[in-house]
Amino acid sequence: MPKLWGGRFTKGVSRLMGEFNDSLPFDKRLWSEEIEASTAYSAALAKAGVFTKSEQAKVAKALREISKEFADNRFRFKPEDEDIHTAIERRLVEKIGDTGKKIHTGRSRNEQVATDERLFLRTANSMAVDLIRELQSSVRELAAKTTGDILPSYTHLQQAQLVRLGHYFMSLFFMLQNDRVRFEDLTPRIGVLPLGSGAVAGSTIKLDRELLRRELDFAALTPNSIAAVSDRDFMADFMYAASQTLIHLSRFAEDLIMWSSTEFAFVELDDAYSTGSSMMPQKKNPDSLELIRGKVSRTIANLNSLLILQKGLPLTYAKDLQEDKEPLFDSVDTLFSSIRVFTGVISTLKIRRQNLMRNTDDSIYATDVADYLVERGVPFREAHKIVGRLVLSGSENGRRLRDFTRNELNSISTLFDDGYYKIFDPELSVERHDVYGGTSLKRVREQIALAGKMLATTKHHRR
């Protein structure tokens, strides 16, 4: 069978060019979106008088049957099918003959592909929101279970100050909240319908675009046909949101990988999310988290591909844009599988409580000691210097801060009293950080309560 556009040609494309040109191998994933959009389009064509009522009913019925063929894996592609749009139109004509040939009246694949992509992303976007919400809820549960556990926090990967483990996990919750809202904010930008734009200048048929919008449940219509067929900014938005989400996950993956090492031993991954070594029998490797850390590189690369694809591209549609789909699909798949696996890791994670403070020495209380002196009237900069000297002398003589005698302390500052020895208590240390957003029990519980409210709210209507 010749190509759908074959009239102007005297011979076919080379096999090489055929394979190079076809997007079917990857855009067949858009079959249900293509059928949904074509069904709506047939209704608009009927209203415009292109189809009679009974012709349109025949088209809609055939499209339903084709949809069933895809769902049952019975749809047979033909060599002349270039992409999902031509494949479905070809099958429609096969099924109902000449009536089917009218479906493309006033229509262009340029608007079809943009429409199908928006339909696809609408579903993917709301799925991303749901998956992030599920992960957030597991993270919140874990945080609630670990508010009583205290461990060192790190800056520059050096021990900094003690924090509640629940406080640490809540930091992931709030980063994910930003991610979720970022996806939710895309909803109105994705939900704009291009159908009716034609190839570039707008349809010549008197299409009721408002009817198309209602049929496909979009919030708005693209107000300019040139922008409608040219732009893929909504897709780049999604791909950035996906990258940022996975960047967040990759940082926590990295911490948990370190924490599951023998050196830290703060956590243990469930067997279900670990794998062994083919050679070293003792190994239990955190492959799940390593893969999440690694896979973000794909979503960042995919985002870059799409941006580079559009840079300097002349308006309006050019075939370059066919290259938008593989990066998009890969980002969607990578995002979903990474979030799902991360959720599994979090909800089965074992905390090795006894090790959390194992490698913490008294120097982690250095800021507390400085604050203690500040409370006794020493200016902070001065206090910082005094404690610095204590820490240095301790590390030179192998002594902990709490081992200094009153005499030794008073030779440095007369302000030290017996209250000094009460400083070295993890619970007291974290409780002193009692500011909104801080690590005291009350403040962490406040965060967990806020998180509960956030989980219950959605910013935008789904479409």
Could you give the residue numbers annotated as active site? 156, 277
Stretch that binds ligand ARG, among 38-46, 108-116, 409-417, 423-431 (CB under 6 A): 108-116
Contact between 115 and ligand ARG per CB under 6 A = no
Among 230, 305, 322, 331, binds ligand ARG (CB under 6 A): 322
Among 46, 113, 142, 170, binds ligand ARG (CB under 6 A): 113
When the beta carbons of 266 and 317 are compared against ligand ARG, the nearer one is 317
When the beta carbons of 109 and 213 are compared against ligand ARG, the nearer one is 109
Q: How far is the CB of 181 from ligand ARG (least distance, A)?
A: 31
Do residues 380 and 374 lie in contact, with contact meaning Cβ atoms separated by under 8 Å? yes
How many residues form the binding site for ligand ARG (CB under 6 A)? 8
Q: How far is the CB of 367 from ligand ARG (least distance, A)?
A: 58
Contact between 81 and ligand ARG per CB under 6 A = no
Q: How far is the CB of 113 from ligand ARG (least distance, A)?
A: 4
Do residues 430 and 164 lie in contact, with contact meaning Cβ atoms separated by under 8 Å? yes
Q: How far is the CB of 317 from ligand ARG (least distance, A)?
A: 6
Q: Compute the CA torsion angle 373, 374, 376, 377 (nearest 10 deg).
A: 130
Stretch that binds ligand ARG, among 106-114, 130-138, 233-241, 360-368 (CB under 6 A): 106-114
Residue whose C-alpha is closest to residue 430's, from 143, 140, 153:
153
Reported as half-sphere exposure (CB side, CA atoms, 13 A), residue 400 has a value of 12
When the beta carbons of 27 and 184 are compared against ligand ARG, the nearer one is 27
Q: Which amino acid is at 412?
A: I
Task: Write the Ramachandran bin of 159: left for phi over 0, alpha for psi from -120 to 50, otherwise beta.
Answer: beta
265-279 burial by CB neighbour count: b if 16+ within 10 A, else e?
ebbbbeeebbeeeee
Residues 6+ apart with CB under 8 A from 15: none
Q: How far is the CB of 200 from ligand ARG (least distance, A)?
A: 10
Do residues 136 and 144 lie in contact, with contact meaning Cβ atoms separated by under 8 Å? no
Among 42, 110, 146, 197, binds ligand ARG (CB under 6 A): 110
Contact between 23 and ligand ARG per CB under 6 A = yes
User: What is the CA 379 to chain-centroid distance, rounded?
Assistant: 46
Q: Which amino acid is at 107?
A: R
Contact between 128 and ligand ARG per CB under 6 A = no
Contact between 321 and ligand ARG per CB under 6 A = yes
Among 83, 179, 184, 362, binds ligand ARG (CB under 6 A): 83
Q: How far is the CB of 50 from ligand ARG (least distance, A)?
A: 21
Contact between 117 and ligand ARG per CB under 6 A = no
When the beta carbons of 27 and 89 are compared against ligand ARG, the nearer one is 27
Q: What is the chain's percent helix, strand, coil content, to nearest 5? A: 65, 5, 30
Do residues 348 and 272 lie in contact, with contact meaning Cβ atoms separated by under 8 Å? yes
Do residues 260 and 349 lie in contact, with contact meaning Cβ atoms separated by under 8 Å? no
- The residues that bridge with 192 in the sheet, in sequence order, are 220
Q: What gap in Å lies between CA 95 and CA 58, rounded to an integer? A: 10
Q: Which residues bind ligand ARG (CB under 6 A)?
A: 23, 27, 83, 109-110, 113, 321-322
